[in-house]
A and B are shown apart, each in its own frame.
Chain A
């Protein structure tokens, strides 16, 4: 059974139809790329999966439960985590507090008020910062980081709660070639315990890390399959790769 199953997703904004029956299926521990030309509906589908948008029609299920109407917080508590397309770290807080905040999203109110979690979670926070090469700047405000480092921090925050499914919307946007390569390296180890859905324009990056791809065009699924199948699909070459 797939971990994430989105079927028949239609999303309209007034007269504009952004998604027209789109679908997405992601297995446990699978790295799944969502690609397509600009305006094909990738980010909208990602938002419908994450709960930032509610589909006009269609169904989203996660770990066997229908989450179509669930709030972002309910989805996060079920094990879903998101990195936004536009970097949204909390600029005034330190890197340490950014990760700590992400770690405690599922805590109760009483737990938050009386928690000694700063001590308990310290190793986890620092471990996550170390993994993303940010430990040396734990005390700096997030606003002091470069764009690429902010992207890493946000991925670290998204991973902090040990999600079952991580949704990454253009994680390498604005990064240098070297930063993109490092990002790919940093993501590989999570495969053991986490699935990944990634929207990305960098096809080399997608090819390197994904097991399967779904290609969207004009709000619908053009095709879905392994990287090799997609690469050899003439429809993709015609509709997507030529435009890209």
Chain B
């Protein structure tokens, strides 16, 4: 193959064809430098935000890319959090080599089971069925945790020991921050590879018109179950980090409130763009933090109005202010030898 590939998606209107890599690099630079300028308590807060970014990526993958409305994403986040908390409490194991893979596995298996039930029917499941099914799962898990003494009931599991690497204890602060950032970047790159591969093209087809792509031969239920399971594993990874960072787990981690929160992160930033999920999480959490300090009584109302305004007037999210539609949709696949498609 010597002929150059067509520059699909490279020629975004308005001369903004390279906006996405620039934004990604800028966000990475800001996140990498943040602990150098932030006070300690803010670094701790920022670590929590990074972990929530990871959680938002998991939801963006299923909703933004594959069009599956998982209204119970917190089920995998919270289950993994509870799972690693129990491992730390009952088995006295807090090694990062055990608890992080355990969290991923819990999210993976949970999503595989729920996804298998909701998505692997003979006929494709409706959006309503999946969203209600996932929401019911999260709600049931929340109620179960609140009522089960072994899981700490309403209070959850407090005082989880610190995660450790050998003899080094990972307590909250800059080290934990950079660990969370490294994991976020790794997961982001993995997701970026996937959504820009031919698999990503199939996901785009799924999102746009799943009935149509079934007639091309795609096994749409399998595709959905696979991406749902992968997103559950990422949510599990986020949940296990969150449990050790916060030092406790509680039923809200499993419930509908947390699930709704992640939907807002992604809608606010821009569903269907990985960087949108990250920006949405960071902006919502930063604005919440600032508003709660400045307007203690009415800050939730101000935040709610702000979210409504963005969703009403910028349904494609904040990133649509700087990214054209063409660039947000992107292009797919790696070129063959001699190919000229440089878009990632």
Residues of A within 8 A of B (CB): 50-52, 71-73, 75-77, 81-82, 84, 88, 90-94, 96-97, 100-102, 104-107, 109, 111-120, 122-123, 126, 138-139, 141, 157, 161
Contact of A102 among B122, B198, B216, B222 (CB under 8 A): B216
Rounded to whole Å, the gap between the CB of B189 and the closest CB of chain A is 14
C-alpha gap A117/B335 in the complex (Å)? 7
CA distance A139 to B326 in the complex (A): 10
Q: Are A73 and B220 in contact (CB under 8 A)?
A: yes
Name the one of B194, B212, B215, B326 contacting A113, with C-beta atoms under 8 angstroms. B194
Which of A71, A105, A109, A114 is within 8 Å of B213, CB to CB?
Answer: A105
Contact B337 A92 (CB under 8 A): no
Report the contact-size class of chain B (Cβ under 8 Å from the partner): 35 or more
Docked complex Cα distance between A192 and B83 (Å):
61
Which residues of chain B are within 8 angstroms of A50 by Cβ–Cβ distance? 215
Please determine whether B332 and A119 come into contact, CB atoms closer than 8 angstroms.
no
Within residues 152 to 179 of chain B, which ones have a CB less than 8 A from any CB in chain A?
Answer: none
Residues of B within 8 A of A105 (CB): 213, 216-218
- For A101, the chain B residues whose CB sits under 8 A away are 201-202, 204-205, 213, 216
Q: Are B208 and A90 in contact (CB under 8 A)?
A: yes
The answer for the CA separation of A100 and B213 in the assembled complex, in Å, is 12
Are B6 and A119 in contact, with the CB atoms below 8 A? Answer: no
Q: Do B214 and A118 have beta carbons less than 8 Å apart?
A: no
24 A–B contacts from the bound complex (CB under 8 Å): A73-B215, A90-B209, A91-B208, A93-B201, A97-B332, A101-B204, A104-B216, A106-B217, A107-B198, A109-B223, A112-B198, A112-B201, A115-B197, A115-B333, A118-B198, A118-B332, A118-B333, A118-B341, A120-B1, A122-B1, A122-B3, A122-B339, A123-B1, A141-B325
What does the 1/0 interface line of B3-21 toward A look like (CB < 8 Å)? 1011111010000000000
- CB pair A119 B209 closer than 8 Å: no
Q: A90 is contacted by which of B205, B222, B325 (Cβ under 8 Å)?
A: B205
Our pick among B9, B197, B209 for the contact of A112 (Cβ within 8 Å) is B197
How many angstroms from the CA of A91 to the CA of B339 in the assembled complex?
A: 25
Contact, CB under 8 Å: A92 / B201:
no
Nearest chain A CB to B163 CB, angstrom units = 31
Complex interface: chain B residues within 8 A of A51 (CB) = 215
B219: A residues at CB distance < 8 A: 73
Are B218 and A73 in touch, CB under 8 angstroms? Answer: yes
**Residues of chain A contacted by B218 (CB below 8 angstroms):** 73, 105
CB distance A141 to B326 under 8 Å?
A: yes
Question: Would you call B273 an interface residue if the criterion is a C-beta within 8 Å of the partner chain's C-beta atoms?
Answer: no
Inter-subunit contact B199/A112 (CB<8 Å)? yes
B338 contacts chain A at the CB level, 8 A cutoff = yes
Q: Which of A97, A106, A109 contacts B226 (CB 8 A)?
A: A109
Closest to A102 in B: B216
B173-201 interface bits toward A, Cβ cutoff 8 Å, 1 = contact, 0 = none:
00000000000000000000010011101
Asked whether B259 is an interface residue with its Cβ less than 8 Å from the other chain, the reply is: no
> Are B208 and A117 within 8 A (Cβ)?
no
Q: List residues 1-48 of chain B with CB under 8 A from any CB of chain A.
A: 1, 3, 5-9, 11
By beta carbon, the residue of chain A nearest B194 is A113
Q: Given that A100-B201, A113-B199 are known contacts, is A119 also in contact with B215, CB under 8 Å in the complex?
A: no
Complex CA–CA separation, A202 to B178 (angstroms)? 67
Considering the complex, give the chain B residue whose CB is closest to the CB of A157. B216
Given the complex, which residues of B lie within 8 Å of A161, measured CB to CB?
A: 216-217
Q: From residue B330, how far is it (CB to closest CB) to chain A in Å?
A: 10
- Besides A76-B217, A116-B334, 15 other A-B contacts (C-beta < 8 A): A73-B217, A90-B209, A93-B205, A93-B208, A97-B201, A101-B204, A104-B202, A109-B226, A112-B201, A117-B333, A118-B336, A119-B5, A119-B339, A141-B325, A161-B216
